[in-house]
Structure 1
Amino acid sequence: MRRLIAPRRWTPPRARPDEGRTAVTGPFPMARRLATGGHGPEDVVFDSRGHVLAGLGDGSVVRLDPVTGASAVVGNTGGRPLGLEPSADGSVLICDHDRGLLRMSADVSVEVLVDTVAGRRLTFASNVVESQDGTIWFTVSTRRWDLEHHLGDIVEHSCTGMLVRRDRDGTVTVLHDSLKFANGLVLAPDASHLLVAESAGYRVSRYWLTGPKTGTVEPFVENLAGLPDNLSLGSDGLVWVAIAAPRNALLDKLLPLPGFLRVLLWNLPEAVRPEPALVAWVMAFDLSGRVVHDLRTHDGSYGFVTGVAERDGTVVAGSLHEDDIALLAVADRARTGFTRAVQA
């Protein structure tokens, strides 16, 4: 039985007429695929040895060599791993949709770090980062929907995403609890702020950790032409953003209108309900919020990119809907001085 939605009105920013044309700096440059041996590498990260880690739909965490393509299962969470973060001690922090915030040690034992937040069982933990002092921050996409029905949250616009901090002593604090489908997370190199993807808000927000703005949120990039998913900070100093899908023009029109229209849309048979357009899409921004890469392909060769990471010029992308990880051949536009202000 389909769950009922409780729509909230929101007036999205007007999509720029040039989005999808002049904003593109190149095609999605897939050089080859890296087979995971499973399905749904939702997030991709590099470990200290330059190998790629990803979590799969069956709970497996796999490690792949981007040069040889060799892969190995390094453990299993017993749930659905999403965002990953390698720790300095060789362990891996994992946001598991079913089980909460986990730590997988080098011996592949799994420890539950957080499974309740504000007195409620934690579900849909999405992405995680850790500071040098052991402080952990993670996102919760929604408190109302699960991964299988995540589009319900996008249509409903529940704004129940959270940003959460776990201190070294285990204290858990909700820093922000009204995010628009909180997703990817990046800690600034100087640890002064976090960058948080709000998929349903078409934006990446900045949450200040230090200075006079501590505890406040402001835009990093706004009015994106698609839904930002996982984020990562590359060795190139760029913030890489996976764009899962373009904005849906019909949904944009319905969001400011009475909610019963979205209820009708949600209750259409799946065969006729609008589906996200298939696109393979990643972007990269410098730390001032200027776009350096905007790489898209609609040819069906890959789609629904939910994770992207860069290390020493190697760029990989993952997808909730694909079996393989995409290895990209990305030109170094940063050295050519190519920039385009997103907010221009």
Structure 2
Amino acid sequence: MGRFLGWASIVILILATAILALYIRSPIEPIVFDPPKSGSLTGEFAANERLAGLAIYMQNRGTGPEDIVKGPAGYFYTGYQDGRIVRFSVSEGRVVEGSIRAFVNTGGRPLGMQFDGAGNLIVADAFKGLLSVSPSGEISTLVDYADDSTLRFIDDVDIADDGTIWFSDASGRFGLHDYIYDIVEASATGRLLSYTPASGQNKVHLSGLYFANGVALGPEDSWVLVNETGASRVTRLWLKGPKAGVKDTFIDGLPGMPDNITFNGVDTFWLAMPALRSSEMDALASYPFIRKLLGGLPSSLLVPKSQLGFALGLDLNGKVTFNLQSHSGIYHTVTSVNEYDGYIWLGSLAMPSVAALPLPVTQ
């Protein structure tokens, strides 16, 4: 009995030491949260293989082409994990391989991108801030982290007709390398901001967002959408008309965690879904101490692994009009969907390629 108690004491001591080490190492301060109502892959989100026919281009040119945009001169652009932004031509929905050229290297991590009215590429760079790249490749910093200590993680961008630049600050607590801690912490410190080029001023429009991610302006810039990745919903802020200044929900109950969102300028918002929602994390919503211990683990162990390719098309009322999936792993961790000239172009934080698919018929 004495030997058993001795071994039991050693095991208890080891466990206590491990728990203490995790607690001390953990950078997060979790709170109790109410898990959002999350849909399953049934009904309008039913599992399918409608992405299975996509074509993959620019294989092994770089890792993580997160966003893909078309410029005013007809070239396409995408940004990679190593800071490069490359330019390429497209013919009938196919990348012209010989056209691929280096454009610039921001020295950071380019994420969401959009062109302004003067032909400058506006870049949400996770490490460098909000950047403007001229047609000749000259980089200017519009919003510098060093000048605003409240900014931590600029993620996506869209531009209004009047030149106002709308962008998201995903988390007030964590940056790109450890973003998953924000999801686990659930403290909702994300924000939606605008930048006015004429004055050089930022303005915070929404705060308390659960990992603010993709940004897209609606028809006639009457409202702006921002994805709340951690809440599996898209939030809308009205900018014009009798509802100006009102915040409401565009769509919620998503089965996944939305990343970027784009508007095709007519009738469809494209929503990228890199991963399904974690039922395990939702089950721990009322147990902040356990989530505190999880925060002591390397962030790479907490990032959900997914082989799912998933994109949704939403109409102007937030109703699902396209449900595009692939469970084969052919193209997964989709972070952006952009529609150009009868095709949709997919980007991914994880893939070493971009992908394209002829625009599907409405389901």
Normalising to structure 1: TM-score of the pair? 0.90
| Aligned residue number for residue 135 of structure 2 | 106
Residue identity matched to 2:51: F
| Aligned residue number for residue 232 of structure 1 | 262
Name which of 90, 102, 113 aligns with 2:119.
Answer: 90
Whether 1:204 and 2:228 are equivalent positions in the alignment is: no
Instruction: State how far apart, in whole Å, the 2-side matches of 1:285 and 1:9 are.
Output: 31
- Are 1:63 and 1:74, in contact at CA under 8 Å, matched by a contact in 2? yes
| Aligned residue number for residue 249 of structure 2 | 219
Given the superposition, is the C-alpha separation of residues 175 and 272 from structure 1 closer, same or farther in structure 2, using an over 3 Å criterion? Answer: closer
Moved more, 149-158 or 225-234: 149-158
Give SS of 1:246's match. coil
Give SS of 1:260's match. helix
| Aligned residue number for residue 341 of structure 1 | none
Instruction: State how far apart, in whole Å, the 1-side matches of 2:311 and 2:174 are.
Output: 25
Instruction: State how far apart, in whole Å, the 2-side matches of 1:107 and 1:150 are.
Output: 33
Instruction: State how far apart, in whole Å, the 1-side matches of 2:25 and 2:328 are.
Output: 32
Moved more, 89-98 or 322-331: 322-331
- TM-superposed deviation, 1:171: 1.5
Given the superposition, is the C-alpha separation of residues 274 and 199 from structure 1 closer, same or farther in structure 2, using an over 3 Å criterion? Answer: closer
- TM-superposed deviation, 1:195: 0.8
- Are 1:154 and 1:200, in contact at CA under 8 Å, matched by a contact in 2? yes
| Aligned residue number for residue 342 of structure 1 | none
Whether 1:243 and 2:267 are equivalent positions in the alignment is: no
Normalising to structure 2: TM-score of the pair? 0.85
Structure 1's unaligned 5+ residue stretches are 339-344
Instruction: State how far apart, in whole Å, the 2-side matches of 1:48 and 1:138 are.
Output: 21
Residue identity matched to 1:27: R
Residue correspondence of structure 1 range 245-264 to structure 2 within 5 A:
245-255=275-285, 257-264=286-293
Given the superposition, is the C-alpha separation of residues 144 and 270 from structure 1 closer, same or farther in structure 2, using an over 3 Å criterion? Answer: closer
Moved more, 19-28 or 205-214: 19-28
Give SS of 1:317's match. strand
Higher alpha-carbon Rg: 2
| Aligned residue number for residue 27 of structure 1 | 50
Instruction: State how far apart, in whole Å, the 2-side matches of 1:22 and 1:91 are.
Output: 37
Name which of 201, 216, 220 aligns with 1:186.
Answer: 216
Identity within the alignment, %: 34
Whether 1:127 and 2:156 are equivalent positions in the alignment is: yes
Structure 2's unaligned 5+ residue stretches are 1-23
Whether 1:53 and 2:77 are equivalent positions in the alignment is: yes
Given the superposition, is the C-alpha separation of residues 3 and 48 from structure 1 closer, same or farther in structure 2, using an over 3 Å criterion? Answer: farther
Residue identity matched to 2:214: G
Residue correspondence of structure 1 range 35-50 to structure 2 within 5 A:
35=58, 37-50=61-74
Whether 1:72 and 2:96 are equivalent positions in the alignment is: no
Instruction: State how far apart, in whole Å, the 2-side matches of 1:332 and 1:50 are.
Output: 25
| Aligned residue number for residue 296 of structure 1 | 325
Given the superposition, is the C-alpha separation of residues 313 and 215 from structure 1 closer, same or farther in structure 2, using an over 3 Å criterion? Answer: same
- TM-superposed deviation, 1:52: 2.5
